């Protein structure tokens, strides 16, 4: 790779990938479609721009997407913007507000946002044919950069079905500057955007990564034992950031209600603390406090025991996986758990019902009581839980693996 001045941007180093490695999990037809779509774009230069290289679904998607794009002849790069703690506190508040939280947008917040976006324009973006900017954090860069030969796309991964009007009005002029805007589903697409600019592309999981690849049962057992789990007893797990929208306090309450009927049950909660989410540590502490001194509640982060392999082992070895979100952009962990043939009980919100068919791969729920009832049902009927997990695996294989996501992205680039 040629060395070049990226200004305040950080070029993210990624590994290598081969499209052929997806043949077994995704099937030959899916790979043939990707190659067909990639052929007219061979040599195109594509830049993905976001706010963090680790923690959360966007970083996970890009860590798979970039190497695969390179393997099929696209010159793809990934860079992260520079930002400080006040900026990330503001953009976390924006994130929550766009998902419906109460928030009063101040002049100071606007300045913190724009003052961080501005220096990130000190880079020659026109070295690329296409630039895909992810989520609100860097959204203003396109407008501030001015005239550009490149085609710019804003990719919104969050639930915009009921956004805070102040924050959306502030961001809307910056979003208008893009040539196309991607949403996960039609319900998130803002009605005040030109319909010809809107594209719908749901995310996907990578079956070849350490987080999703097949693991021997004995290795999974050893990993869980090392983490303090009694593998002879039932285990319920939630894998997600410690975020109010993921409702970790509700998960603790679900566990307590289940434990009244199944005293031997254990709860594991695994979540990364991301650089661009300063609220995460606060929510982790609140959840730990809610759990109290219960020895059967196990909490892990990327600073303890929540690496990709460990998450993989927990999702494979759990009797039930919970994703008790109360708002959700998509929730890749729902697809991950089903890919591992584990039954899931998840909130009926956002993109979750796209992945989890109620009564097939698991259950969709609307409350703590309903969640606890469904978890109890699956713990008491392991044969049904197993059958649901297997149906969920087949559905994710058909709809939510990386080659499908790459094909959708290639179609978008060609359309521009």
The model's confidence at residue 394, banded by pLDDT at 50, 70 and 90, is: very high
CA distance 132 to 347: 30
pLDDT of residue 169: 96
pLDDT above 90 covers what percent of the chain? 89
Helix (H) and strand (E) counts in the chain = 16, 13
pLDDT of residue 8: 84
CA distance 46 to 57: 20
pLDDT of residue 306: 78
pLDDT tens per residue, range 253-287:
999 999 999 999 999 999 877 656 677 788 999 99
The backbone torsions φ and ψ at residue 181, rounded to the nearest 5 degrees and listed phi first, read -130, 125
User: Hey, is 221 helix, strand or coil?
Assistant: helix
From 345, 336, 331, select the one nearest 401 (Cα to Cα): 336
pLDDT of residue 275: 58
CA distance 182 to 133: 10
The model's confidence at residue 22, banded by pLDDT at 50, 70 and 90, is: very high
Over residues 79-95, the mean pLDDT reads 93
Check pLDDT > 60 for residue 5.
Answer: no
Angle 284-287-290 (CA atoms, 0-180°, nearest 5)?
155
What would the CATH number be for the domain defined by 10-204+401-415?
3.40.50.2000
Over residues 234-253, the mean pLDDT reads 95
Domain boundaries, the chain: 10-204+401-415, 217-399
pLDDT tens per residue, range 344-353:
999 999 999 9
CA distance 154 to 43: 22
Of residues 38 and 327, the one with the higher pLDDT is 38
Strand pairing of 10-11 and 75-80? antiparallel
Please state the pTM of the whole predicted model: 0.90
Tokens 């990130």, residue? 120
Distances (CA, A) of 167 to 97, 109, 326: 7, 10, 20
Question: Under CATH, which architecture does the 217-399 domain have?
Answer: 3-Layer(aba) Sandwich (3.40)
pLDDT of residue 1: 40
Over residues 163-176, the mean pLDDT reads 96
User: Hey, is 337 helix, strand or coil?
Assistant: helix
In sequence order, which residues have a C-beta less than 8 Å from that of residue 314 and are 6 or more positions away? 223, 224, 235, 237, 239, 268, 270
CA distance 205 to 312: 13
CA distance 325 to 246: 4
Beta strands in 97-189 (DSSP E): 130-134, 151-155, 180-183
CA distance 145 to 124: 9
Distances (CA, A) of 218 to 135, 221, 287, 308: 40, 5, 31, 17
Indicate if 217-399 has the same CATH topology as 10-204+401-415: yes
Under 8 Å between Cβ of 158 and 183: no
The model's confidence at residue 398, banded by pLDDT at 50, 70 and 90, is: very high
CA distance 184 to 158: 8
User: Hey, is 76 helix, strand or coil?
Assistant: strand
From 340, 113, 103, 43, select the one nearest 209 (Cα to Cα): 340
Local structure of residue 20 (DSSP, 8 states): G
Check pLDDT > 80 for residue 56.
Answer: no
Mean pLDDT, the chain, whole residue set: 94
pLDDT of residue 2: 41
Question: What is the 3-state composition of the chain as percent helix, strand, coil, each rounded to the nearest 5?
Answer: 50, 15, 40
From 6, 3, 94, select the one nearest 49 (Cα to Cα): 6
Check pLDDT > 70 for residue 410.
Answer: yes
CA distance 91 to 276: 8
Over residues 42-61, the mean pLDDT reads 91
């Amino acid at each position: 790779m040629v060395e070049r001045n990226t200004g305040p941007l950080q070029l993210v180093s990624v590994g290598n990938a081969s499209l052929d490695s997806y043949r077994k999990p995704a099937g030959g037809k899916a790979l043939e479609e990707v190659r067909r779509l990639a052929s007219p774009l061979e040599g195109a230069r594509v830049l993905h721009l976001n706010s963090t290289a680790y923690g959360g679904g966007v970083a996970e998607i890009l860590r798979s997407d970039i190497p695969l794009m390179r393997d099929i002849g696209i010159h793809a790069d990934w860079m992260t913007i520079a930002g400080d703690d006040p900026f990330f506190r503001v953009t976390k508040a924006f994130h929550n507000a766009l998902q419906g939280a109460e928030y009063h947008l101040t002049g100071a917040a606007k300045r913190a946002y724009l003052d961080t976006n501005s220096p990130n324009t000190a880079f020659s973006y026109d070295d690329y044919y296409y630039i895909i900017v992810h989520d609100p954090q860097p959204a203003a860069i396109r407008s501030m950069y001015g005239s550009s030969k490149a085609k710019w796309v804003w990719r919104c991964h969050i639930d915009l079905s009921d956004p805070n009007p102040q924050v959306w009005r502030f961001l809307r002029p910056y979003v208008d500057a893009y040539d196309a805007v991607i949403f996960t589903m039609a319900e998130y697409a803002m009605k005040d955007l030109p319909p010809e600019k809107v594209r719908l592309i749901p995310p996907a999981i990578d079956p070849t990564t350490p987080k999703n690849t097949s693991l021997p049962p004995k290795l999974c057992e050893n990993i869980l034992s090392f983490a303090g789990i009694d593998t002879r007893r039932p285990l319920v797990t939630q894998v997600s950031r410690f975020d109010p929208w993921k409702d970790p306090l509700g998960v603790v309450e679900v566990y307590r209600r289940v434990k009244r009927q199944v005293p031997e049950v254990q709860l594991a909660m695994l979540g990364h603390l991301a650089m661009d989410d300063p609220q995460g540590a606060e929510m982790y502490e609140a959840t730990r406090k809610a759990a109290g001194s219960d020895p059967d509640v196990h909490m892990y982060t990327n600073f303890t025991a929540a690496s990709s392999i460990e998450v993989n082992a927990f999702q494979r070895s759990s009797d039930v996986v919970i994703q008790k979100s109360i708002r959700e952009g998509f929730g890749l962990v729902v697809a991950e758990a089903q890919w591992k043939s584990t039954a899931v009980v998840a909130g009926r919100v956002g993109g979750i019902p796209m992945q989890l068919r109620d009564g097939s791969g698991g259950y969709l729920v609307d409350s703590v009581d309903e969640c606890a009832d469904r978890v109890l049902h699956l713990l008491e009927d392991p044969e049904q839980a197993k059958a649901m997990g297997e149906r969920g695996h087949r559905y994710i294989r058909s709809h939510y693996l990386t080659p499908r996501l790459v094909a959708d992205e290639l179609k978008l680039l060609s359309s521009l």
